[in-house]
Structure 1
Amino acid sequence: MTQKPREPDPTLIWERPEPASRPAPGPLSRDRIVRAAIELADTEGLAAVSLRKVAAALDAGPMRLYGYMSTKEELLELMVDAVYGEMVSEGPIRGEWREALRSIAHRTRRAAREHKWLIDLVAGRLHLGPNALAHLEASLAALSDTPGFEDIDAVMQAVGTVNAYVIGAIRTEASELRAELESGMNKTEWQNASWPYIQRMVATGRFPMLARVVRDATHPSFDVVFDKGLECVLDGIAARLSR
């Protein structure tokens, strides 16, 4: 008779103790489970992550995992928090306010590039894991002694604005890369295939701005676009501070 997963524990996963260690058939821990899930997501994508597949990677029965977490959603939260832990391990966020906000932005982008599934989980609600809170604490503290940021609301707005830009930029990059994979064409191949159509549409005269893009735009790399966009955001924060 198949055993059913136990009912979800009402306490948050962060404050719930792990079950007692069991040496056979193999030792488990939340950390081992989460690392296996991250490796699976990194290699096969987030859709491949399930308690059953993670258990198989650890040579354990799926029911054993329910002793460490109650739902797949808790596993995803643990995965996100582990990545925040990687970001925190980079050390304190230092420098004047622009440098500090650049550091925050680039840490998040590096993490999302290493773990491409991360962007699908970080947007939306606030993550409450200990590493996520440590990263947020460090981000807010980086501006706390800066003139113009005496009000905690100003600190939160600046950090939140940069984070919103970063998430949007990363989503755009991820969408383009995903489109390449799904179409089987890289960016250059897709542009070459689309070029005759674009030329015909521009020739109608109905799209003068698009004609300027085709004629004059430099189409820089993702890295250049990201940094220029970030500087626009920082310039906006600076203009607000000056007022």
Structure 2
Amino acid sequence: MELIWERPEPRGRTAAPVDRRRIVATAVALADAEGLSGLSMRKVGAELQVSPMRLYGYVATKDELLDLMADAVYGEIAAALDDSPEWEEALLAIAVTTRDRALRHEWFVELIGGRPHLGPNALTVMEATAAALARALGPDGADRVMVALGVFNAYLVGAVRNEVSERRVSRESGAEKTQWQASVGAYLGRQLATGRYPTTERILHGKPQGDPAETFAEEVAVIVRGVTHTG
């Protein structure tokens, strides 16, 4: 089967100009507004003023459309990166930019972490990540690059998924969340007062919760130090 990345677009003159770029941009805008659950080929066609069947000439399935949408976000990530020779700066930039785009396109987290994305933009981001890790580990650590890449990506996917999920819950629950937090806070206070959880108590009563972006950067730094440790 010829993949979407290598399949040429249909040619021909039509009354309503359509191409994959416009289809993907329209689908991304719809998903930003309504989530993936609100996305359909019918809605994309309506926005472009063409029938859904016309779209299937450009993308064979909805899954192909989702692949193209994910790669469009990877394109935003790739465009924000530079050729920093400092591997630590490069890894932090990749992580921070991925988080930024995931918060901008919340549906993106539903498409990452499963089967690998192999579009040109996704491969560009993967290459930048692997290259930075390879520089960090040096020639003697070449056999560790794949493991380091897996750990780095696993943290990144998990972190952005959690943050997006928390944002969604905050928007949807409202007063229920406030009541839940109050009841949980009281319960947790009683449990900590038993003295059975001293480490947890020190953590919770230690550094106050800071800015999510700063916390994320601190966690990325810990992960980077761990996966690039050569001792």
With the length of structure 1 as denominator, give the TM-score of the two structures: 0.83
Once residues 213 and 177 of structure 2 are traced to their aligned partners in structure 1, the CA distance between those partners, rounded to angstroms, is 15
Give 2:35's aligned amino acid.
G
Alpha-carbon distance, 1:218 to partner: 1.6
Contact 1:21 1:27 in 2 (8 A): no
Once residues 187 and 73 of structure 1 are traced to their aligned partners in structure 2, the CA distance between those partners, rounded to angstroms, is 34
Once residues 225 and 189 of structure 1 are traced to their aligned partners in structure 2, the CA distance between those partners, rounded to angstroms, is 26
Q: What are the equivalent positions in structure 2 for 1:1-243 lying under 5 Å apart?
A: 10-24=1-15, 26-146=16-136, 148-149=138-139, 151-185=141-175, 191-192=181-182, 194-203=184-193, 207-239=197-229, 241=230, 243=231
Alpha-carbon distance, 1:115 to partner: 0.8
Once residues 90 and 190 of structure 1 are traced to their aligned partners in structure 2, the CA distance between those partners, rounded to angstroms, is 39
Higher percent of residues as helix: 2
Once residues 101 and 187 of structure 1 are traced to their aligned partners in structure 2, the CA distance between those partners, rounded to angstroms, is 35
Once residues 143 and 194 of structure 1 are traced to their aligned partners in structure 2, the CA distance between those partners, rounded to angstroms, is 41
- Deviation digits for residues 102-143 of structure 1, max 9, x if unmatched? 122112111111111111101122111111112222322334
With the length of structure 2 as denominator, give the TM-score of the two structures: 0.87
Name stretches of at least 5 consecutive residues in structure 2 with no aligned partner: none
Once residues 186 and 111 of structure 1 are traced to their aligned partners in structure 2, the CA distance between those partners, rounded to angstroms, is 29
Give 1:177's aligned amino acid.
R
- Secondary structure (helix, strand or coil) at the match of 2:58 reads coil
- Secondary structure (helix, strand or coil) at the match of 2:82 reads coil
- Secondary structure (helix, strand or coil) at the match of 1:28 reads coil
Once residues 136 and 106 of structure 1 are traced to their aligned partners in structure 2, the CA distance between those partners, rounded to angstroms, is 15
- Deviation digits for residues 213-242 of structure 1, max 9, x if unmatched? 554452223223212211211221343x1x
Q: Mark the CA change 1:178 to 1:218 in structure 2 (over 3 Å): closer, same or farther.
A: same
- Secondary structure (helix, strand or coil) at the match of 1:118 reads helix
Name stretches of at least 5 consecutive residues in structure 1 with no aligned partner: 1-9
Once residues 107 and 178 of structure 1 are traced to their aligned partners in structure 2, the CA distance between those partners, rounded to angstroms, is 20
Once residues 200 and 142 of structure 1 are traced to their aligned partners in structure 2, the CA distance between those partners, rounded to angstroms, is 47
Q: Mark the CA change 1:177 to 1:185 in structure 2 (over 3 Å): closer, same or farther.
A: farther
| Identity level (%) | 47
Give 1:104's aligned amino acid.
I
Once residues 151 and 202 of structure 1 are traced to their aligned partners in structure 2, the CA distance between those partners, rounded to angstroms, is 44
